[in-house]
Amino acid sequence: MTVTMTSTATTPDRRTARHRLARRAAVVALVGTGLLATLTPTASAAPPAGRERPATDPAALGQALRAVVEQGGSSAVLAEVRQDGRTAWRGTAGVADLTTGAPVPDGARFRIGSVTKTFAATVVLQLVGERRIGLDDPVERHLPGLVPNGAAITVRQLLNHTSGIHNFTDDPRFDTDGEEALQRWLTVGRWTTYRPLDVVRISTARPPYGSPGTGWWYSNTNYVLLGLIVERVTGRTWAEEIERRIIRPLGLRDTSMPGTSTVIPGPHAHGYVERPGGPADVTLQNPSAYGPAGAGISSTRDLTRFNAALLGGRLLRPAELDAMKQQVDTGQGFTYGLGLSRHPSACGEFWGLTGGIAGYGTLVTGSADGRRQVVVSINPYHLSEDTGRTYQALVDMATCGSPRAAAPSEG
């Protein structure tokens, strides 16, 4: 499984309205005022016939985890491996606070960014299984008059980012490219409350990227619209439905969908952005603009449990889980399904999603058989080529047992 940095939308006239914290081979890049370019594993060799799931080596994993911090690319890293329903290994490295030097607390929570999309997609697909939503329903049926050309855009296209709807984080008001724009976000933008209709109007005021179903264009607006559809169908907010359908049944005590709250409840490591004068602490931020597209908070413990339950068939019926895994080619070296992405590796097929928000990046992935799950949270800071290399080694070790195991064999 090879982790690469990819952009999240491509159009000829796309603005460069983003403050990139990553260097050219970095793992993480900030998009808009928060969402992260995906840490997207690309295809590698198929697993050898009869290969057993790799054993977990705590010492080697600990060393790989520390290397990410020691290379200077992250202030903190948290990771967990779950095997056959039990925590096989959990580790932390770095500091929770650059000022005090306090260590990262065990069980720390963090902002999960676009991994929130998998939670939201799961709720939508549960409603599909209940025949309350159809994947081929037009958006116009559920949100009449809200989206231009809504009669031609389907729920499925919102889920897999083929709707063509403009990404609201490309709007100039979310621009953090350059010191002046970043300062504006730090002092004003990150405290601003946005309602779902606010960001939809920001998006629909701009022309679409293309006709529905003719290409792949990552747009956080798609999932904001899905949240509104869930509310229209159930009479409850998307966050209430995630709480009712996923968080409570699975006992995810560290997971929350914070709305307008600026804090991370419970133990956590601070997140930072790099500036010429030193780090700016962005732990406190209002994620309301992102909603079901990226506002969530969780922990490695909860995310491995969620991934195991999802891939193990506890949250969706086989038909809906199969639909979730139906991938489209993004044209960027990876595929994307209905809030779930395929991560081929040398030790088997893995499924999950990646994402982030200012100061935090997350990878969630699990084996197709539901037996092994891996979660990595990184607090990116001063990223470099070495960051990408050490991060890749950690992911390979966690998924396949060694840094070399995930690479295709020569010959």
Question: Residue 2 has which token pair?
Answer: 């090879």
> Would you report the helix, strand and coil content of the chain in percent, each value rounded to 5?
35, 20, 45
Nearest-Å Rg of the Cα atoms of the chain is 20
**Is 114 in the active site?**
yes
CA 104, CA 95: separation in Å to the nearest integer?
5
Q: Which residue's structure tokens are 């946005």?
A: 194
Question: Residue 49 has which token pair?
Answer: 């016939």
Contact 217, 164 (CB under 8 A): yes
Helix (H, G, I), strand (E, B) or coil at 375: strand
Helix (H, G, I), strand (E, B) or coil at 5: strand
Strand 39-42 and strand 74-83: the pairing is unpaired
CA 61, CA 238: separation in Å to the nearest integer?
36
Q: Which of 175, 174, 165, 172 is nearest to 217 (CA)?
A: 165
- Amino acid letter for position 346: A
CA 46, CA 225: separation in Å to the nearest integer?
37
Quickly list DSSP for 83-128: ETTEEEEEEEEEBS-TTT-PBPPTT-EEE-GGGHHHHHHHHHHHHH
CA 394, CA 1: separation in Å to the nearest integer?
11
CA 235, CA 218: separation in Å to the nearest integer?
28
Active-site residue, from 44, 74, 75, 114: 114
CA 153, CA 19: separation in Å to the nearest integer?
31
What is the set of active-site residues?
114
